[in-house]
Chain A
Amino acid sequence: MSELSSPDNDQPLLVAEGLAKNYGRLPACRDVSFALYPGEVLAIVGESGSGKSTLLQLLSAQLAPSAGRVSYRMRDGVLRDLAELGEAERRFLFRTDWGFVHQDPAQGLRMGVSAGANVSERLMAVGWNHYGRIRDTASTWLDRVEIDVGRIDDAPKTYSGGMRQRLQIARNLVTEPRLVFMDEPTGGLDVSVQARLLDLMRNLVSELGLAAIVVTHDLAVARLLSHRVMVMKGGRVIETGLTDQVLDDPREPYTQLLVSSILPP
């Protein structure tokens, strides 16, 4: 956690430069540039259609940009253009160094196989082959995300929505990634379940020193989880800064509208 003890923190982990994406003639994302540092949590907020999900896909190399580029600092310390990575390096990112938490857990989990297998799969993909160790690690992770280890052999289709989402998080974090992408991670959950999940994510992110990019339309999620926020509208980043600063002292008309639209608790 202490940024002073870690020399790496002075160098960005991920850099976006002039990123743009057009669908036909429709610009979904325009001229986005920023740098993300190790241990930093960035929230991307905006309404549906603002381009935030497109941006997340561009940043996580699931979509090729129409212009601009995304670079990522590999574990050897070298900043590399994602578009120029070889297949083995891409696989390393997707299976090990990155996590991706989807809004719908069914997209990020294999619903028909056991919870233990869901967590173990990523370990086996990176070459773990000792059954006992794999199972121990899977159990530890279920416990960390507050899932009863007695449910390890049950498939996630028998789990509640909140449990599925926590299992998805365990599956992603088991390989100790350095960067996690999250797309509306609390969307579709009950408010009480959301609070528990947010609290859990907040603790894990800070304990593990994870960097994260969280797309959300919920400003409360941004406030609780993120250090910095980018507000998107019409495919552009219209305001950016420290999360509490942007939310307590919003400058742009659209941001003021978003903030003033929150119902008081």
Chain B
Amino acid sequence: MTAMIELANAEKTFTMHLQGGVELPVVRGVSFHADPGECVVLSGPSGAGKSSILKMIFGNYRCDSGRIGIRHHGKVIDLATAEPRQVLSIRRSTIGYVSQFLRAVPRVATIDVVAEPLIVNGVAREEARERAGKLLRRLNIPERLWSLPPSTFSGGEQQRVNIARGFISDLPILLLDEPTASLDAANRAVVVELIAEKKTRGVAMVAIVHDDEIRHLIADRIVDVTSFAAAA
């Protein structure tokens, strides 16, 4: 396979032991793929399981059955059965995840929050900070804020810091969970541009976007999640 991501019959159910063992089916029969340079957008109403699918691809939610093939260092690894160490390695050098909310580390300066994914992959601190600065500038985060921890920023500013952190890396797969949710028009346009640049570099992306206009601008293919709904 040449796809970067290939899901086949992936399935997820939550068993709520504290509610008397209620089974909450989330998705089943999830099958789709993403090629290099392609942005696949998941569509469907709230609660259809879009975010759960992204979390399964990232290894944050476990996959009960089926397969989640990820191309990692030239080999395909099934994330559904991978060892924790393999998942960590995949997260370090293959899959990036841009969530809606920043889980900020207390006391770390914004510029270092953004530069960290590069440093972890061996880029020199100075170069990493320089690239972080460029991205923060593009996303209209004023330079006077760079040395402050982002925990005190507004929601929109935090989201832009999070986007910078997600887009700075050279990872071949990006998962985007509503990357434009609380941004103004100018910053939404920057994100659309960043996504286009990632495509030209061959990055495979899976995204959730509710805004029809943005979806139209970034999607190469739309996968309707409704067909995977597992309502029992």
Which residues from chain A sit less than 8 Å from chain B, CB to CB?
Answer: 1-5, 37, 40, 195-196, 199, 202, 224, 227-228, 241-242, 244-245, 248-249, 251-253, 256-257, 260
Contact = CB atoms under 8 A, between A and B. Distances in A.
Given A241-B62, A245-B62, A253-B17, 11 more contacts: A5-B122, A37-B85, A227-B84, A241-B84, A242-B59, A242-B84, A242-B88, A245-B59, A249-B60, A251-B62, A256-B17
Contacts of A2: 120-122
B84 A228 contact: yes
B89 interface: yes
B232 interface: no
A199 B122 contact: no
Contacts, number: 57
The 4 A-B residue pairs with the shortest CB-CB distance in the complex, in nearest-first order: A253-B17, A242-B84, A249-B61, A2-B122
Interface in B73-106: 84-85, 87-89, 92-93, 105-106
A248 B17 contact: no
Most buried by A among B60, B84, B106, B107: B84
Interface string B27-64: 00000000000000000000000000001000111100
8 contacts: A1-B122, A2-B120, A4-B93, A5-B122, A224-B105, A245-B59, A248-B55, A249-B14
Contacts of B108: 199
B18 A253 contact: yes
B15 interface: yes
A248 B54 CA distance: 14
Nearest to A40: B85
A195 B87 CA distance: 27
Contacts of B1: none
A4 B73 CA distance: 11
Contacts of B93: 4
A62 to B, nearest CB: 27
B16 interface: yes
Interface residues of B, number: 25
Does more than half of chain A's interface fall in helix, strand or loop, or is it mixed? helix
B120 A1 contact: yes
Contact of A256 (B18, B59, B92, B106): B18
B122 to A, nearest CB: 5
Nearest to A192: B106
A242 B63 CA distance: 13
A251 B121 contact: no
Given A227-B84, A227-B88, A249 B120 contact: no
Contacts of A1: 119-120, 122
Nearest to A42: B84
A257 B17 CA distance: 8
Nearest to B121: A2
Contacts of B16: 256
A202 B105 contact: yes
Contacts of B62: 241, 245, 249, 251
B65 to A, nearest CB: 14
Most buried by B among A2, A249, A257: A249
A2 B84 CA distance: 17
Contacts of B17: 252-253, 256-257
A40 B86 CA distance: 12
A196 B93 CA distance: 29
Contacts of A244: 60
Contacts of B85: 37, 40
Contacts of A228: 84
A224 B104 CA distance: 11
A199 B105 CA distance: 7
Nearest to B84: A242
B106 A195 contact: yes
A11 to B, nearest CB: 12
B15 A3 contact: no
Most buried by B among A2, A40, A224, A244: A244
Contacts of B55: 248-249
A195 B104 CA distance: 12
Nearest to A259: B18
Contacts of A248: 55, 60-61
A146 B56 CA distance: 40
A192 to B, nearest CB: 10
B18 A260 contact: yes
A242 B87 CA distance: 8
